[in-house]
């Protein structure tokens, strides 16, 4: 009986030992591998916080991971890189003047004092007189300056459409102006330099439309639209003597001058008489007496129209009706241009 009792006790002891061993193993396993669920995470979403870095701030996403909504907008810092902000601001706002459209008598005649646009100095190619009707447009307050030319040709950066533009390898495609001055007219530029290189770059940079004026637009603006009649030069009622509104042979010291330093016309436009001749978009041709609406000139020709006279011109060449022409592939020191563009918001 004693032996039987001992075997029973041994079995009981072994059961107790295995039970204790199982409890100890379970406790050890739980301490090494904590449960995946966070008791503070009510929704059961996995907690990705590193337990060892509880006080470490989470880094914001990199810029390339969160696209900037303004990424495609023009970068104003880049737009100002070559010259002061004033230049670009003037281009956008104050350098273009709205010209209200209308009908005017284009040309000049010397035969009858009682007829419109009588001018004893008129040349043969300034008549016959003819009526021209124009739509509204805007035109440069000043001739395009050397600063603006170099800004556009040397521009490198973002454009209004989000594209990237590289600087042109040769800022002055023709010949660098003899007199380099930021606010003097850009000269030594051919018609082809302007329409093939400068204007397309300007349009892409700004996202706006620019071009050269037609001959009719040029004369209409020089005459101050419908605000004046019978003025010989592009001036105003107080100042219309040639030396008050034009840099020409007798007052220029035979050199180009800074734009806007003499008197403007009634629209506030400067230097449409004298300083530098200005390219127009038309092929040169004789006038006809037919009425015209927004004329653009003939479809082909050998020379482009130039207008306004220059610092080496006689006074008769600075008259608002005086015409001349030049090879579009050529350039010279007395020839520049001004722009026509979209109407400016008031």
Question: pTM (2 decimals)?
Answer: 0.74
CATH number at residue 86: 3.90.1580.10
| Domains in the chain, number | 1
For residue 170, being part of any structural domain is answered with yes
Mean pLDDT of 299-317: 97
Q: What is the pLDDT of residues 281-300, one digit of tens each?
A: 999 999 999 999 999 999 99
What torsion do the CA atoms of 84, 90, 93, 96 make, to the nearest 10 degrees? -160
Instruction: Indicate the average pLDDT of the chain.
Output: 80
**Selection from 18-22, 203-207, 322-326 with the highest mean pLDDT:** 322-326
pLDDT of residue 111: 92
Contact 75, 88 (CB under 8 A): no
pLDDT band at 32 (very low <50, low <70, confident <90, very high): very low
Tell me the Cα Rg of the chain: 39
Q: Is residue 69 part of a domain?
A: no
For 162-183, the three-class secondary structure string (H helix, E strand, C coil) is CCEECCCCCCCCCCCCCCCCCC
What span, in angstroms and rounded, lies between the C-alpha atoms of 62 and 36? 30
Terminal C-alpha separation, the chain: 121
Q: Give me the sign of the Cα torsion angle 275, 276, 279, 284.
A: positive
> Once rounded to an integer, what is the mean pLDDT over residues 217-245?
89
β-pair partners for 158 = 164
Kindly tell me if the per-residue pLDDT of 182 is higher than 60: yes
Share of the chain above pLDDT 70, in %: 73
Q: Would 17 be classed as within a structural domain?
A: no
Cα 171 from Cα 155, distance rounded (Å): 10
Q: Does residue 269 form part of some domain? A: yes
CA 7, chain centre distance (Å): 105
The range of the structural domain enclosing residue 90 comes to 76-339
**Using CA atoms, how far apart are residues 20 and 33, in angstroms rounded to an integer?**
21
Q: Residue 183 above 60 pLDDT?
A: yes
53 domain residue, yes or no: no
Burial class (CB in 10 A: 0-12, 13-18, 19+), 31: exposed
Work out the average pLDDT over 50-75: 41
Residue 332 lies in a domain: yes
pLDDT in tens, 63-91: 444 434 444 444 444 544 433 334 455 44
Q: What is the mean pLDDT of residues 96-107?
A: 95
Contacts of 279 (CB under 8 A, 6+ apart): 191, 194, 212, 304, 305, 306, 326, 335, 336, 337
154 phi/psi in degrees, rounded to 5: -95, 5
């Amino acid at each position: 009986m004693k032996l039987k009792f001992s075997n029973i006790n041994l079995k009981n002891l072994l059961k107790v030992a295995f039970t204790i061993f199982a409890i100890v193993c379970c406790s050890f396993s739980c301490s090494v591998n904590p449960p995946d669920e966070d008791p503070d995470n009510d929704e059961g979403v996995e907690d990705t916080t590193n337990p060892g870095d509880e006080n470490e701030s989470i880094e914001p996403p990199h810029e390339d991971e969160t696209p900037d909504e303004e990424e495609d907008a023009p970068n104003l810092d880049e737009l100002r890189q070559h010259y002061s902000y004033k230049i670009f601001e003037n281009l956008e706002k104050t350098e273009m003047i709205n010209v209200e459209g209308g009908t005017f008598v284009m040309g000049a005649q010397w035969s009858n004092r009682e007829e419109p646009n009588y001018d004893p100095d008129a040349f043969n190619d300034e008549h016959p007189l003819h009526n021209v009707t124009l739509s509204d447009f805007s035109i440069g307050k000043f001739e395009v300056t050397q600063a603006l030319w170099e800004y556009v040709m040397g521009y490198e950066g973002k454009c209004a459409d989000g594209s990237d533009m590289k600087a042109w390898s040769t800022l002055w495609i023709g010949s660098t102006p003899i007199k380099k001055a930021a606010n003097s007219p850009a000269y030594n530029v051919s018609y082809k330099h302007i329409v093939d290189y400068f204007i397309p770059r300007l349009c892409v940079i700004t996202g706006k439309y620019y071009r050269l004026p037609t001959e009719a637009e040029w004369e209409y603006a020089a005459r101050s639209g419908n605000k004046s009649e019978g003025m010989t030069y592009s001036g105003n009622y107080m100042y219309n003597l040639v030396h008050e509104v034009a840099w020409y042979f007798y007052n220029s010291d035979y050199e180009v001058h800074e734009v806007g330093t003499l008197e403007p016309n009634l629209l506030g436009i400067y230097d449409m008489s004298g300083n530098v001749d200005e390219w127009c978009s038309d092929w040169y041709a004789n006038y006809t007496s037919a009425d015209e609406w927004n004329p653009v000139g003939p479809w082909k020709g050998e020379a482009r129209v130039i207008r306004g006279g220059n610092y080496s011109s006689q006074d008769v060449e600075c008259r608002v009706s005086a015409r001349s022409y030049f090879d579009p592939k050529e350039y010279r020191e007395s020839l520049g241009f001004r722009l026509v563009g979209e109407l400016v918001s008031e």
